[in-house]
């Protein structure tokens, strides 16, 4: 379907993109290797901070994963049983909100509910509890991780439950199976197939969590590896410790990715597709009560922090904040960084995907097949080196050139682009595959190639997923605090860094107002990326004939 020249151009483009990615990561990791080799390998674990940080990282990740799944399983089962009730569709959509919410904003919302002056402590005070609940430390980290990861677990598990054939439920109804038998023979096998992949993904997210632990950690006893890296460079000026911690984090991430590769990847979020299945196991009053209880508790657990963000933000002096020069500069800096990072992430994704599709032919050499596999695994390999570790490596590189802040914007853009690459490729790959299958032969038969093909055939169909990938990448970059945490300064202040700075200087009202503004911008980007999908689907069908 592709001419020899087109195929070669796409393969070269993929090679250039791959070289850029591995060069950016390799320079950072190489600088860490060079510095560590000066200290020797024998004292790699001699620092007393390393093992406690590793232990706490694993412990809080394990607890967070367990609690997220323990809460998510009954909620997913309740949604699967209650196929039709007022507001179900919106509640299922609500489960996607924390996944697209900047972590910093979610943490502020949790502080508004669970903090010392939050709603929960006010209620506890009214009923006579004198000792307020403290959100700082392990308890706060667990609360925050469950807030962000329980909805992810629900959506992944709901996909598995929705894929149970309808005949199973008809047979269960005819046999009069009790609830425990339905769970044992139908629901649990469906959950068990999804559970390892969901648990691995949530564990990975918790083990590489930075912003939540930075805000809610509460001291050295509740410090993960990534936060310890940040503290070693930002406060302790101890590069040797930071390098040891960085390699420990890479080792941990590689181990988690290796274990995750042994299990099937979680399915896409498509729980609402397919015909409605009739179920007879939830007709009793007890089942209705427990299902309603779990759905209501999950809804409140998610809605209250979100409402707290809106209410606290509206109480702030938004007019004054919008007129402050520091806020204007931070907003412009954030937009510039997010636009550049988003465009770079989408461009790299397009290069890699087009090369992958060009190599998918029947007659292909072993070298080409290996290169195609490398291209397809790039998005997973990017996750091997977390954001803070990349930032640490480049921080070490730039120290040799003098003022680190001078080069910081370019590095922050590059790190944010790589951070968004897996999400951009996940959005674009299915669209490019479907488009190539539907229009490749037609374009080849008409002799349309190059720029003419891109303008007349590719762009009218692919602009929608490209815009979606760009908006998601921009939203991720806009709300990120990890990369800018090491490089943030007077010359590089983004909105998340400004929110964190105002919160650290006890200007909570300003932080709440800025968090609301940041959340609205990210929400607008998400809506812009998902709008108009139905019209684009109709256009694609017309172009396919």
Per-residue tens of pLDDT for the chain, all 545 residues: 566 777 788 889 889 999 999 999 999 888 888 776 555 544 555 677 888 899 999 999 999 999 999 999 999 999 988 877 888 888 888 888 887 788 889 899 999 999 888 888 888 888 877 667 888 899 999 999 999 999 999 999 998 888 888 788 888 877 878 888 888 888 899 899 999 989 998 999 999 888 899 888 867 778 899 999 888 888 877 888 888 888 889 889 989 888 888 877 666 555 444 455 667 776 778 778 888 999 999 999 999 999 999 999 998 888 999 999 999 999 999 999 999 999 999 999 999 988 888 887 656 677 777 777 788 778 777 888 888 888 888 888 888 787 777 888 899 999 999 999 988 888 888 888 887 777 766 666 666 766 667 777 777 778 888 888 898 889 888 888 888 887 877 678 889 999 988 888 888 889 999 999 988 888 888 777 665 444 444 444 433 44
* pLDDT the model gives residue 45: 58
What stretches of 355-498 adopt beta strand conformation (E)?
none
Helices 138-162 and 285-315 pack at an angle, to 10 degrees, of: 130
* pLDDT the model gives residue 444: 65
Of 312, 505, 346, 455, nearest in space to 17 by CA: 346
Dist CA 7 CA 514 (whole Å): 48
Dist CA 31 CA 394 (whole Å): 8
User: Which are the contacts of 442, defined by CB distance < 8 A and separation ≥ 6?
Assistant: 457, 544, 545
Give the architecture (CATH level 2) of 45-308: Orthogonal Bundle (1.10)
Q: Which residue reads 């046999």 in tokens?
A: 175
User: Which are the contacts of 191, defined by CB distance < 8 A and separation ≥ 6?
Assistant: 73, 76, 77, 157, 160, 161
- With left for phi above 0 and alpha for psi between -120 and 50, is residue 419 left, alpha or beta? alpha
Helices 225-234 and 387-399 pack at an angle, to 10 degrees, of: 20
Tokens of 169: 């439920």
Answer whether 226's CB lies under 8 Å from 210's CB. Answer: yes
* pLDDT the model gives residue 543: 37
Neighbour tally for 74: CB within 10 Å: 18
Dist CA 508 CA 351 (whole Å): 44
Dist CA 524 CA 428 (whole Å): 20
Of 197, 194, 87, 210, nearest in space to 148 by CA: 210
User: Which are the contacts of 277, defined by CB distance < 8 A and separation ≥ 6?
Assistant: 83, 164, 166, 169
Dist CA 98 CA 301 (whole Å): 11
SS3 call for 316: coil
Start and end residues for every CATH 1.10.3720.10 domain found in the chain: 1-36+316-545, 45-308
* pLDDT the model gives residue 540: 43
User: Which are the contacts of 398, defined by CB distance < 8 A and separation ≥ 6?
Assistant: 404, 407, 408, 411
Distance between start and end Cα atoms, the chain: 18
Rounded to 5 degrees, φ, ψ at 41 are -90, -20
Dist CA 350 CA 363 (whole Å): 23
* pLDDT the model gives residue 264: 74
Give the burial class of 265: count Cβ atoms within 10 A of its Cβ; 0-12 exposed, 13-18 middle, 19 or more buried.
exposed
Q: What pTM does this model have?
A: 0.84
How many Å separate Cα 512 from the centre of its chain?
23
* pLDDT the model gives residue 460: 78
* pLDDT the model gives residue 338: 93
User: Which are the contacts of 39, defined by CB distance < 8 A and separation ≥ 6?
Assistant: 240, 243
How many Å separate Cα 138 from the centre of its chain?
22
Q: Which residue reads 């080799």 in tokens?
A: 37
Answer whether 28's CB lies under 8 Å from 373's CB. Answer: no
Cα dihedral value 224, 227, 231, 233, nearest 10:
120
Class level of CATH domain 1-36+316-545: mainly alpha
Dist CA 478 CA 215 (whole Å): 18
């Amino acid at each position: 379907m592709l001419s020899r020249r087109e195929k070669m151009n796409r393969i070269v483009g993929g090679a250039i993109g791959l070289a850029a990615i591995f060069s950016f990561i390799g320079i950072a990791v190489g600088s860490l290797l060079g510095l560590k080799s000066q200290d020797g390998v024998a004292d790699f674990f001699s620092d007393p901070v390393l093992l406690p940080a590793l232990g706490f990282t694993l412990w809080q990740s394990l607890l967070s994963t367990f609690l997220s799944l323990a809460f998510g399983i009954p909620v997913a089962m309740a949604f699967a049983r209650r196929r039709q009730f007022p507001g179900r569709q919106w509640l299922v959509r609500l489960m996607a909100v924390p996944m697209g919410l900047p972590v910093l904003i979610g943490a502020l919302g949790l502080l508004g509910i669970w903090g010392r002056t939050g709603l929960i402590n006010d209620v506890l005070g009214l009923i006579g509890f004198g000792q307020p609940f403290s959100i700082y430390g392990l308890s706060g980290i667990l609360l925050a991780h469950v807030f962000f990861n329980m909805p992810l677990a629900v959506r992944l598990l709901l996909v598995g439950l929705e894929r149970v054939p309808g005949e199973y439920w008809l047979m269960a109804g005819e046999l009069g199976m009790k609830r425990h038998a339905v769970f044992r023979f139908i629901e649990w096998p469906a959950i068990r197939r999804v559970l390892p992949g969901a648990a691995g993904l949530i564990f990975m997210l918790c083990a590489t969590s930075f912003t939540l632990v930075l805000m809610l950690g509460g001291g050295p006893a509740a410090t993960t590896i990534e936060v310890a890296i940040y503290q070693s460079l930002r406060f302790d000026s101890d590069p040797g410790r930071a390098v040891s911690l960085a390699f420990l984090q890479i080792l941990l991430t590689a181990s988690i990715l290796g274990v995750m590769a042994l299990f099937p990847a979680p399915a896409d979020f498509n729980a609402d597709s397919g015909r409605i299945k009739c179920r007879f196991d939830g007709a009793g009053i007890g089942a209705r009560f427990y299902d309603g209880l779990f759905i209501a508790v999950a809804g409140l657990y998610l809605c209250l922090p979100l409402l707290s963000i809106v209410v606290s933000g509206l109480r702030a002096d938004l007019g004054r904040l919008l007129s402050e020069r520091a806020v204007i500069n931070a907003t412009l800096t954030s937009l510039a960084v997010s636009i550049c990072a988003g465009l770079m992430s989408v461009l790299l994704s397009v290069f890699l995907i087009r090369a992958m599709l060009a190599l998918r032919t029947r007659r292909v050499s072993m070298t080409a097949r290996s290169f195609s596999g490398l291209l397809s695994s790039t998005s997973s390999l990017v996750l091997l080196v977390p954001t803070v570790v990349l930032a640490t490596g480049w921080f070490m590189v730039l120290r040799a050139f003098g003022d680190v802040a001078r080069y910081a914007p370019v590095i922050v853009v590059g790190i944010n682009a790589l951070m968004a690459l897996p999400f951009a490729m996940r959005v674009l790959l299915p669209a490019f595959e479907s488009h190539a299958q539907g229009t490749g032969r037609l374009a080849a038969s008409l002799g349309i190639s190059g720029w003419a093909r891109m303008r007349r055939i590719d762009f009218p169909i692919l602009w929608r997923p490209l815009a979606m990938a760009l908006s998601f990448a921009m939203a991720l970059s806009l709300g990120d605090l990890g990369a800018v945490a090491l490089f943030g300064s007077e010359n590089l202040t983004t909105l998340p860094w400004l929110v964190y700075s105002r919160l650290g200087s006890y200007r909570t009202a300003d932080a709440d107002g800025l968090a609301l503004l940041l959340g609205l911008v990210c929400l607008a980007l998400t809506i812009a990326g998902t709008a108009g999908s139905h019209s684009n689907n109709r256009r694609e069908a017309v172009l396919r004939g």
